[in-house]
Structure 1
Amino acid sequence: MKKILYLSIFLMSIVASSQIKITGVIKDEANNSLPGASIMEKGTSNGTSSDLDGKFTLEVRSSNSIIVISFIGFESQEITVANTINFSIILKETNVLDEIVLVGSRTPARSNTKTPLPIDILPSKDITNTGQSSFDQVLQYKVPSFNVVNIPVSDATSLFDPYEIRNLGPSRTLILINGKRKNLSALAYTYGIAGRGETGADISAIPIDAIKRVEILRDGASAHYGSDAIAGVVNIILKDNYNKGSVTTRTGVTSEGDGELLGFSLNNGESINNGKGFLNYTVDFSKSNRANRPGLVNALGEATDFGANITDVQEFLSRHPDAGNVNATPKTISTKFLLNGGYELSEKGSLYFNAAYVYKAANSFANYRTPYWRTLADYPYLGDFFPAPGTPNNYDGYIPTFDGILNDYNASIGFKGQKNEWNYDVSYTIGGNLQKYTVRNSHNGNSVLSPSTWVDANNNGIVDAGELTQGFELYRENSPITFDVGGTKFTHGVGNIDVSRIVSDKLSIAFGTEFRFENFEVIAGELASYDGGGSDSFAGSRPENSKTFNRYNWGGYLDVSYNATENFLLNGTIRTETYSDFGNAFVWKLSSRYNFTDNFTLRGSVSTGFRAPTLHQIYSQKLQYSFVAGQGIQVTGLINNISPEAKLLEIPQLSAEKSTNFTLGIGAKLNKDFQFTIDYYNIGIKDRVILSYEISGTAFDANGANIGTTDLDAFLRDQNLQGISFFINGLDTRTSGLDVVFNYKNIAIHNGTLALNLSGNYVLENKQVGATKTPQLIADAGQTVVNKTQESVLFTSRPETKWILGANYTLGKFGATLNNTYFGKATFHQQGLSNDIRTEFIPKIITDLGINYKFTDKIVVSLNINNLLNITPEWNFKAENAAGQALLNDPVQTLTQSNLITFNQRYSTTTYDGFHFSQFGTMYNLSLNYQF
């Protein structure tokens, strides 16, 4: 028996000693690593897959073994081991090759045409060719389902514009950097525009020259990535080259000679330890000045709104036709730094890291306080605060300014490798966004007295005549004119463990976990900024509303991808999440793809999703100044979800949104140059979190005092508020539409090549489903959390369709791009507008032209003319019924309604609520790029 055992051990040792350990790296013809490629020993089940750097290690039986290397979209190779132990393998693309994508599945990467999900790929060249100065504007003019709002009055929003995919708000689009979650902005929008009540990551802070490519998943992905991925995912892949770099200088100006832009960017790399590691870094500095487009103010509307003498109004407007308003892009200075790196620790393991820091300072303006709005009769000291010699009473009004400072940072460090054919990735990510604000050229006009003092001169214990001294005015004539109004801060820490394996040529699996800690802080302003009502134009945060709030959550997922046949793919994912503040969530996703031929694919998915209410939405509370049509600037209160006031109003605590996503699409690649995709999507959201519109009293006297008799009126009087707003799971919604992408490249024209692309988004429906969930006390007062204004914010204020037709022509050293973006009809019903009419924005086409010339192999000069034809937004009134048509037939009534929504024509181009493309017309941008 012992002899048999010894013999077995001896034979096994011979077999083991005959095995050969081979290593290698797999790349494409452009020298890009191919992660997830299959390496199999022919005739056996022995195999492995390449890691995220394209590297692999495998033990084969002998030098006669043949290894088979395959990857979707590439031609397979068979290689005899012979005496080679280290391989460098280049795979050639097939005629149906498309980009390799990392987003959309946790199993190893696959080619874009083979994914069961709609994904847009934007390479670095396409991003820089737009000539846009910020990343959010790049996406606006490259991705039809992506929209961003330009608003005319900035305040805190001068630091961050709301964006969204598929009309669902920034809170429902997850932003990743190299596959890791980016932190949210500290700002929650409270303006009555698209994006109201939302928050999102500040993608404008990402330096464009640091981006290698962008992957945009247009599908629900909560099962893969957790909260915030109901509408889709934007994955920003950073540059990782270390053997070349570039310096870019850029300048720009509008056709009106304002909005000057100056910028400098450096992108470079360094090798570490003879190529074992790399560093790629980007430094970006930019400065942009104001571009101002005020409207001509209507005197009759002014006199009516402010109860002013028409003669006084006309006299002021004769000197200041725009009423002194500055309707402008903010003056902005920004500094951006980003570092991306990695280091090979062993044959099967590597370290990676990235870090970014952004500093941004913006200066914007509030509405000009005219001398008939803030009068000397009400504030006699204003002539001393804001003297204007040579004008009536040496006072001509004033304009408060708003200075915002933003600090945004994020960093990730991780270790990825392979062990026993399992790919693993362990990482930790931190991020934060801090915004602080200063109001200048303003005042606190509220009457607040210091405490009275009593000196008992005769020690009789009684207040006698002359012993009590009344307190003095703290503000008004004693007010400062500069105020620290506080700010907000958001930070998070995210830990991830992701494991995947290609089990066979049919089966891939992945699983992982995520732990996240979030912190939201409201920073109090100085006393004068909030006391008694606070500084004019923007009140500071009160100490009782300025606290630190936090939560944590844990999540885990399992992802299985199965090729039932060579042409039929099934992908299933499940995920569970546990939040410390509202409980559990369980979601799933099933997606599939069927290749009828090598050139035609049918794909689809069905999934559930969730979105946790942000800490901003749960805890934000403050007084805010809002424009109410026909009533001017009103003081209203935003009350948070856990406040005593919320309990008095019977507002339920916020819970997670729940979604159901369905997509169905086709993809075709008729040859290597022509491809198209058409995808239908349908997204249902239950318990959608919204910020209610400003709910006011039910009855008022001639002086505007609340005389209503409901419990709501009593509440508002007790709180000394003209109105309130709050976050609530207010309604269910359904959004559906079509996404279309056509690409045709390598068209030969006069010794050059032309590439054409057409992409579009068409909204089939975007509507509320079922009844509004209004608290009973508010419903009893005949009010609702969703009025016509809120409906338009949620459902119709985005273009119902948007199309992008682009052409890119290359001839030798010369290149040109022509991009036409069609913004379809958008409708709005502003607060205070007659219920019998609506505002409708007219469809427009924005044309962008880019020309570049390569003087040498290292020097490229580019000229971009954005909005070549100087198109600006236009809108008309449309009647909802016969009464509305009668109103529009009367020029006087029509002008009154127009004054309501434009603040008496201050914002005649976009109304008070802004629009999706700029009102500032043509922009010329010139850049010089030097490569080294």
Structure 2
Amino acid sequence: MNPFPLQKKIFKLLYCLLVLLVSGGTLTAQTGQAVSGRVLNERNEPLTGVTVLVKGTTAGTVTDASGNYELQVPNLGATLVYSYIGFARQEVRIANRSRIDVVLKEEEDRLQELVVVGSRSQNRSVTETPVAIDIIPIQEIIGTSGQLDVNMLLQYVAPSFNVNRQSGSDGSDHVDPATIRGLGPDQTLVLINGKRRHQSSLINIFGTRGRGNTGTDLNTIPAAAIDRVEILRDGASAQYGSDAIAGVINIVLKSSVNEFTGSINTGVTTEGDGENLQLNGNYGFELGQLAGKRGFVNMTMDYLHRNRTNRPADPNVYEVYRRQFGDALSDNFATILNAELPVSEQSSFYAFGGFNFRDTDAYAWTREAGDDRNIPSIYPNGFDPRIQSRITDRSISAGLRSSIKDWAVDLNNTYGANRFHYLVDGTLNASLLDESPTRFDAGGFELAQNTTSINLSRYFQDFLAGTNIAFGTEYRLERYQIFAGEEASWRNYGIIDTVIDGRLQQYDRLGRAGGSQGFPGFNPDNELDEYRTNIGVYVDGEFDFSRKFMIAAAARFEHYSDFGRTLNGKLATRLALTEAFALRGSLSTGFRAPSLAQIYFNSTFTDFVGGVAVDKVIAGNTSSITRKLGIPALKEERALNASLGFTATLGNFTATVDGYYVDIDDRIVLTGAFEDTDDVIGPDLQALNVGAAQFFTNAVDTRTRGLDVILNYNQRFGTDNRLNLSLAGNFNDMEITGINTTQRLQSKEDIYFGRREQLFLIASAPPSKINLIADYRFSGWNINAKLMRFGEIVLEDWDGEDDVYEANYTTDLAIARSFGDHLSLTLGGINIFDVYPTRQDPVATESGGLWDPVQMGFTGRFLYARLRLSL
């Protein structure tokens, strides 16, 4: 059954209703008065693409190539708001004038920029919001960074954001799991242009942070397509729904026109591997003009090649299980389009979306020549299986924005899908002996999501000191599939039916492992095609009692077809004690629905005990195995969030300090493996012919407390010289407050979620992460230096010993030179002092290397060059 046509019908119905409303609103709309002018910078140069809005409404325009603008205003007593990336926001009262020329001042500080996420008011800047929001100007960062993908760019500028590159972790080598404040990858909601983004179809299983979680693959969005990233560091389930326990990342795509920007980026480690090559281009053009509003189409294409690295342990020093240990090889192609077209004086049609294809190749653990999983006639020296993936990601979002009697209305439909297809190369199926192929199609999975929403928002300028009311509804459908690989990728050809002790059983006549070594394929019994629906309704209000005091409140009700209902609320406030100092805080409840992958993912591989074949499984939550053993059905994770902080401005110095508290009950994790020798459920496993089983379950309660500090100072010397200093830190403490086993397994906490797994969960973020950035620009030169400190992390190895990764520092340096207005060259180094994490015993680490994956990475020094062109 394919339920998507039902959603299409709903969308068409909503669309027709909105068109009727828009038509009626347009007929009664007042023409108003015309205001025009020009916007310049401090050097009297025209600024193209400056947003000019009538405060408190959705009416507005952007400046053309000469900096000119013209728009209709409801009355000549209104206020115009001018905003532009890299410049201070400016408000100007019209005061009966028909022409207004404005000079915008450049500003390194992002705190005055209008935000999309965290507030549905169009009149709120970062310092005016009651919660913590980071505004990250990606295009500015790219100019002085050797990081080429979005995950790593954010890792080195946002202290609360953490990402790990994995090795030897199956699918997680191909999609980097990322977190905010050390919470789960699936506890952060990702938006594109304010619309919900679909997650990756991958669920992290082996040797990784975020084990048992799904997440959103940010690297499917090329950095060249992004104008800025907004990170809401506060629980927002009441505003945006599921997945927003830790916060929200909103990626705002570029909308520039009449400008081509492109770059060639390349680099290599000082070990001579890990070569990177990136080619990208971005161009936008105008698309129609109506009532002072200009349409646009902005397009980006990006290709990124990242070669593998190899940092194996010295076999003369250590017993070594892996000859290949390091980052995976990856080829990533992406294209993104962002467009808007005015269709009436009050309305605009918009669309954005893209396609991403990633081809990856990662080494699994070594099979030695004498291993019984090897066939010496095929690999006389043993072999290193390579897990490859073909990841296809596609998305399209389209909608209509309109203003109906001062209500801003947004009707939208967003579709996205992610397909993860495994191939295994340089391997074999040992049960086929000399006849085994060396390459297999191992199957995979796919996740599709379609979201239809209608949102209404209105700013009441004359109620209190200003009030914004928003409400809306969202209908979402999700579909999850697992598809099988070829037979040889999963079958053991040595198994035959035989009678043992009067019972018909399967017996292994060869004693050889079946399936593709490194990653066994999904078999037909694993295949599934499941879906669910969800409908949500929210109301959101922001009340300015005065210019100094405001309160925001939100409530959201959601109903899921598979587990039921949830209601969440949020209160937030901001109090400006002076023009330069304000207190802010929030209190909210949150939730996260179990993902379809957590409910239905299942995997089976065959092992042998005394020559008899037994299945080892990750059992789906709805499977007969799970039900027989009394594992309960998954339910939502529930959270309580609180924050308290302040913002301060003193001349060129700004500071934001925010403390936070996140208490989460019933977090979903993957349990340890229960063997068929277990004294409680072992007999049940034996009766099912299952040698070992793992489950997804709501097993863990956690409490996270922390502090975010961001200090920024900028100073201009003359016309061209500018210094910016920033110190940002995240201090994070997570504790596990409860392990929730079933009544039957109350004495099995060490297997259910033992200390080893607990430490992996806690290490999702270091206890402290601090970055100091100094950026100096003068006469066409730009020098940028970053010092990063990663706090100490403790993990438990396979021997039950603590592996301590001591606190460590990395240093980046970049020097950029502009040649006129169109060309710039950057030379730089990442980790220029070639610092590595604390070495461990590779025999006992999770990854089989000298280090487990930690936030600072294990690649060493990387040198790079970037050539940027702007036309």
Q: Normalising by structure 1, what TM-score?
A: 0.81
The one of 258, 283, 295 equivalent to 1:268 is 283
Task: State the Cα deviation string for residues 456-513 of structure 1 (Å, max 9, x = none).
Answer: xxxxxxxxxxxxxxxxxxx334433221110110111111211111112421111111
Give the structure 2 partner of residue 857 of structure 1: 821
Contact 1:27/1:33, CA 8 A, preserved across alignment: no
Letter of the aligned partner of 1:928 in structure 2?
L
Deviation at 1:696, TM superposition (A): 3.1
Once residues 737 and 340 of structure 1 are traced to their aligned partners in structure 2, the CA distance between those partners, rounded to angstroms, is 37
Contact 2:172 2:208 in 1 (8 A): no
Q: Deviations over 1:441-466 (max 9, x none)?
A: 222234xxxxxxxxxxxxxxxxxxxx
Residues 150, 917 of structure 1: 8 Å contact kept: no
Please state if 1:690 is matched with 2:666: no
CA contact (8 A) 2:283 2:299 kept: yes
Distance 1:617 1:415 in 2: 34
> 1:489 aligned to 443, 446, 460, which one?
446
Matched, 1:397 2:378: no
Is the 1:756–1:807 Cα contact (8 Å) retained in structure 2? yes
Q: Which residue of 1 aligns with 2:113?
A: 99
CA-to-partner distance for each residue in 1:735-789, whole Å, 9 max, x for gaps?
01000000101253997321000000011x311224x211233335675411001
Deviation at 1:25, TM superposition (A): 7.9
Q: How does 1:47-196 map to 2 (within 5 A)?
A: 48=57, 50=59, 59-60=74-75, 66-69=77-80, 76-81=91-96, 84=98, 90=102, 98-128=112-142, 129-196=144-211
- Which structure 2 residues correspond to residues 606-685 of structure 1 after superposition, within 5 A? 606-623=587-604, 636-671=616-651, 673-685=652-664
- Taking the TM superposition and a 5 Å limit, the aligned residue runs for 1:286-685 are 286-297=304-315, 325-374=323-372, 382-386=375-379, 395-446=380-431, 475-504=432-461, 505-532=465-492, 533-623=514-604, 636-671=616-651, 673-685=652-664
Which residue number corresponds to residue 721 of structure 2?
Answer: 752
**1:324–1:215 CA distance, 2 compared to 1 (3 A):** closer
Q: Quick one: distance in 1 between partners of 2:597 and 2:37?
A: 46
State the one-letter code of the partner of 2:450: G
Distance 1:689 1:52, change over 3 A: farther
Q: Structure 1 residues 635 and 52, CA, compared in 2 at 3 Å: closer, same or farther?
A: farther
Aligned partner letter, 1:230:
I
Q: Which residue is 1:833 aligned to? A: 799
Judged with a 3 Å threshold, the aligned counterparts in structure 2 of structure 1 residues 23 and 622 are, in CA distance, closer, same or farther, namely farther
> What count of residue pairs does the alignment treat as equivalent?
791
Partner of 1:925: 864
How far is the alpha carbon of 1:21 from its aligned partner? 2.3
CA gap 1:34/1:562 in 2 versus in 1, 3 angstroms = farther
Q: Aligned equivalents of 1:124 and 1:25: distance in 2?
A: 31
The alpha-carbon distance between structure 1 residues 428 and 748, as it changes in their structure 2 partners (threshold 3 A), is same
Q: 1:50 to 1:600 in 2, by over 3 A?
A: farther
In structure 2, what is the Cα distance between the partners aligned to 1:345 and 1:585?
38
User: 1 CA distance for matches of 2:206 and 2:309?
Assistant: 22
Asked whether the 8 Å contact 1:154–1:365 carries over to 2, the reply is no
Residue 114 of structure 2 contacts residue 122 of structure 2 at CA under 8 Å; is this kept in 1?
A: no
Distance verdict in 2 for CA 1:185–1:573, change over 3 Å: same
Shift of 1:259: 1.2
Q: Kindly state the Cα deviation for residue 350 of structure 1 after the two structures are TM-superposed.
A: 0.8
Aligned to 2:239, what secondary structure does the other structure show? helix
Structure-2 separation of matches of 1:167 and 1:206? 22
How many angstroms does 1:293 deviate by?
0.8
Match of 1:246 among 251, 255, 261: 261
**Alpha-carbon distance in structure 1 between the residues aligned to 2:615 and 2:855:** 28
Give the CA deviation at 1:864: 2.4
Counterpart contact for 2:299–2:338, Cα < 8 Å = yes
Given that 1:850 and 1:863 are in contact with CA atoms closer than 8 Å, whether structure 2 keeps it comes out as yes
| Aligned counterparts of 1:524 and 1:918: Cα–Cα separation in 2 | 34
Q: Aligned residue for 1:283?
A: 301
Deviation string for 1:26-65 (max 9, x for gaps)?
99765655577536xxxxxxxx5546979975555xxxx6
Choose which of 769, 793, 798 in structure 1 pairs with 2:737.
Answer: 769
Q: Which amino acid aligns with 1:525?
A: G
Aligned: 1:216 with 2:155: no
- The one-letter amino acid paired with 1:787 is G
Cα contact 2:139–2:226 (8 A) shared by 1: no
How far off its partner does 1:69 sit? 4.5
Q: Percent same amino acid at aligned positions?
A: 32
Letter in 2 for 1:851: I
> For the residues of structure 2 that align with 1:101 and 1:517, how far apart are their CA atoms?
28
Report deviation, 1:531: 1.6
* Displacement of 1:282: 0.7
Return closer, same or farther for 1:851/1:74 CA change in 2, 3 Å cut-off: closer
**2:693 matched to which residue of 1?**
724
The Cα RMSD (Å) is 2.8
Separation of aligned partners in 2, 1:639 and 1:841: 34
Q: Look up the SS of the partner of 1:483 in the other structure.
A: strand
Match of residue 873 from structure 1:
837
Residue 396 (structure 1) shift: 1.8
Cα 1:826/1:875, change in 2 over 3 Å: farther
**TM-score normalized by structure 2?**
0.86
2:252 to 231, 234, 237: 237
- Structure 2 vs 1, CA of residues 575 and 35 (structure 1 numbering), >3 Å: closer, same or farther? farther
CA shift for structure 1 position 76: 4.8
Q: 1:487 to 1:25 in 2, by over 3 A?
A: farther
Shift of 1:806: 0.3
Greater mean alpha carbon deviation, residues 89-98 or residues 152-161: 89-98
Could you list the per-position Cα deviations for residues 534-593 of structure 1 after superposition, in whole angstroms to 9, with x for gaps in the alignment? Answer: 222211112121111111101111111111112001111111111111111110111100
CA distance in 2, matches of 1:752, 1:828: 46
- Report the AA paired with residue 734 of structure 2: N
Change (3 A) 1:242 1:646: same
Structure-2 change in CA distance of 1:648 and 1:89 (3 Å):
farther
Change in Cα spacing, 1:867 to 1:643, as seen in structure 2 (3 Å) is same
Q: Which amino acid aligns with 1:929?
A: R
Segments of 5+ residues of structure 2 without an aligned counterpart are 1-27, 41-46, 64-69, 493-513, 608-613
- 2-side partners of 1:782 and 1:235: how far apart? 38
**Distance (whole Å) between structure 1 residues aligned to residue 120 and residue 528 of structure 2:** 38
1:38 corresponds, among 50, 55, 69, to: 55
8 A Cα contact 2:199 2:418, kept in partner: yes
Structure 1 distance, partners of 2:37, 2:409, is: 18
> Which one of the candidate residues 713, 718, 728 is aligned to 2:682?
713
The match for 1:21 is 32
Q: Distance in 2 between matches of 1:70 and 1:270?
A: 24
Conserved? CA contact 1:358–1:409, under 8 Å? yes
SS at match of 2:741: coil
User: Is 1:801 matched with 2:782?
Assistant: no
